[in-house]
Amino acid sequence: NAGVTQTPKFRVLKTGQSMTLLCAQDMNHEYMYWYRQDPGMGLRLIHYSVGEGTTAKGEVPDGYNVSRLKKQNFLLGLESAAPSQTSVYFCASSTSSYNEQFFGPGTRLTVL
Amino acid sequence: RKEVEQDPGPFNVPEGATVAFNCTYSNSASQSFFWYRQDCRKEPKLLMSVYSSGNEDGRFTAQLNRASQYISLLIRDSKLSDSATYLCVVNRRTGGGNKLTFGTGTQLKVEL
């Protein structure tokens, strides 16, 4: 099993550009999450999904959109990137909202 | 006040030493607790769950004090490979489901 994978691993964008980050999991987990991690801030939840076709806002959702068309995939979109979105983005999945979360390797995004 | 607080460290200890980290949480409704480990530029991974009665996994011991609202992690006989950042994670039930809150982490450096 590959677990949780993320694409791409690194990306540099210019302000105003758009991009989509892809997360895939092969553990048949219902719950999936997108976090960002910034120095001194800890992991902050952007959006999450409790099942195929569902999405919900987390702590810091502004400037991001998500979609969960298939159970195994969770996409995070940035419509118009801003320098404040420079961060490391982690995707995670779990069987339920109170069980262990399994994380992907992360995507390092720089917005110039 | 932050919902989960940790001393950022770094804790620099010699190999073989015993080291302890504390984490405090502000919401008394918090239900479950975890320690995650994060290596430099890697994803977080579950180290251990924290049970009310305390639990041990090899050289690692986790304890919960609900009255004082803190959890602790004790590492005995530190190894160089224990060098990492240790994240305290607290889960509590909200109207929208369960909310997992990550601390900013405590950095441990084990030296020869």
CA distance A51 to chain B (A): 13
- Is A103 in the B-facing interface, judged by CB distances under 8 Å? yes
The shortest C-alpha distance from A39 to chain B (Å) reads 8
Summarised one tens digit per residue, pLDDT across range A14-35 is 999 999 999 999 999 999 999 9
Rounded to 5°, the CA angle A107-A105-A13 comes to 5
How are beta strands B55-57 and B60-65 bridged, if at all? antiparallel
Q: Are B86 and B105 in contact (CB under 8 A)?
A: yes
Enumerate the residues of chain B whose CB falls inside 8 A of the CB of residue A105: 42-43
Could you read off the pLDDT of A48-70 as tens digits, one per residue? 999 999 999 999 999 999 999 99
A42 vs B41, B46, B104: nearest CB:
B104
Predicted local confidence at residue B96, as pLDDT: 65
Choose the closest CB to B46 out of A35, A100, A105: A100
B39 touches chain A (CB under 8 A): no
Task: Give the model confidence (pLDDT) of B1-48 as tens digits.
Answer: 788 999 999 999 999 999 999 999 998 888 889 999 999 999 999 999
* Best of A23, A35, A97, A109 to mutate (most B CBs within 10 Å, chain B): A97
Q: Looking at the complex, does the CB of residue B98 fall below 8 Å from at least one CB of chain A?
A: yes
Q: How many residues does chain A have?
A: 112
Digit-coded pLDDT (tens) for A77-110 = 999 999 999 999 999 999 988 788 999 999 999 9
More reliable by pLDDT, A41 or A37: A37
Euclidean distance between CA atoms B23 and B73, whole angstroms: 9
Of the candidates A41, A90, A106, the beta carbon closest to that of B104 is on A41
Residue A56 near residue B96 (C-beta atoms within 8 A): yes
Asked if the C-beta of A19 comes within 8 angstroms of chain B's C-beta atoms, the answer is no
